[in-house]
Structure 1
């Protein structure tokens, strides 16, 4: 997933757009009108779906979610599994559930705003039930240069918290561990993290020494 060429992936906002919500409501209204005219429609089944659909829409109003996330939340609310699947199929059909768009935007935002590495983001997408092929495509937004640049920014930022040049080896190692820890918590490669942390610490010490 690292080193792969960057693709021009479309960006979809985490919050569902008004256009999407309007599209869904219109589709549901059209369906309801058709159900009234069609005596073969199972009205009892449609009533069961209505409750699940309303709850799913409230969850989507809060933020975009993967299909797996919605499924898990609806199961916890003790809705019937077959009804949940039917509703999720409906929402997928009108574009309110789109795991590809969700994963792409999740990676873009979490890398840019939280400084998360591709490895950490991959684990997050796994927990959200995103399929391997979709995860790989979304993570192609991040290449090796992106990873190193983000890690370096984080290392420099943490090094700025050091207020004086370490007096001995023990104090220096302590400062170094703090910088490495910031990068490790975001899932960056250990070897790269150590090298960048040393470089950031050296630059900070030089800065302090000439201040």
Structure 2
């Protein structure tokens, strides 16, 4: 697990200070309500410290932990107000990391964010980071990497098609368009065969 960012730690510290100063105020709030919120808040902060989460994802985890739904909503609102829960920022970071590092297509990323309960407007904004050029580049890199596993030039059409299906499969699993995947796979296989001929 990566070290929490200094800004995140500062926000957590401020949230804790705000809670403690409120607790010291005496009579300014409902003690039972604050105690209930403190338990939910503590669990929510632990979950957020593990990794960023969408509001819906955090809500579902807290419901599964059998906390009161009204208290959960109140705590989630508090966390959103201090900037610890932000679906738009979560979606942007999700797309940035998983597109570049894991080679996932915009289509797959949109589906992942949808499953995490991120609304369409936040998903669309986050997916603006993905360009046709970046998708093309990732497809080419993935196809070339898979093509490098080919050690001998395919002997016939059947063998060539088998190898081609494997390369296309790598791209398909990341959600890339079938037609574009086939074109890129063919180019990668041709380039690999040319390399093997020159060895």
Range into which the TM-score falls when normalised by the shorter chain: over 0.9
Match of 2:78 among 87, 90, 95: 90
Deviation at 1:209, TM superposition (A): 1.4
Contact 1:69 1:129 in 2 (8 A): yes
Q: Give the alignment of 1:47-196 within 5 angstroms.
A: 47-196=35-184
Question: 1:3 maps to which residue?
Answer: none
Q: For the aligned residues, what is the CA RMSD?
A: 1.5
Task: Name the SS of the counterpart of 2:101 in structure 1.
Answer: helix
Deviation at 1:141, TM superposition (A): 0.4
What is the distance in 1 between the residues matched to 2:41 and 2:84? 12
Structure 1 runs of 4+ with >3 Å offset: none
Moved more, 123-132 or 31-40: 31-40
What is the distance in 1 between the residues matched to 2:3 and 2:179? 37
Contact 2:92 2:127 in 1 (8 A): yes
What is the distance in 2 between the residues matched to 1:109 and 1:39? 46
Q: Deviations over 1:89-116 (max 9, x none)?
A: 1111111111111111110110111000
Contact 2:171 2:181 in 1 (8 A): yes
Highest RCO, 1 vs 2 (Cα 8 Å, sep ≥ 6) = 1
What is the distance in 1 between the residues matched to 2:72 and 2:91? 22
Contact 1:15 1:63 in 2 (8 A): no
What is the distance in 1 between the residues matched to 2:54 and 2:40? 16
**TM-score normalised by length of structure 1:** 0.89
Deviation at 1:207, TM superposition (A): 1.0
Contact 2:172 2:181 in 1 (8 A): yes
Is structure 2 residue 185 aligned with structure 1 residue 197? yes
Match of 1:20 among 8, 17, 22: 8
Moved more, 99-108 or 28-37: 28-37
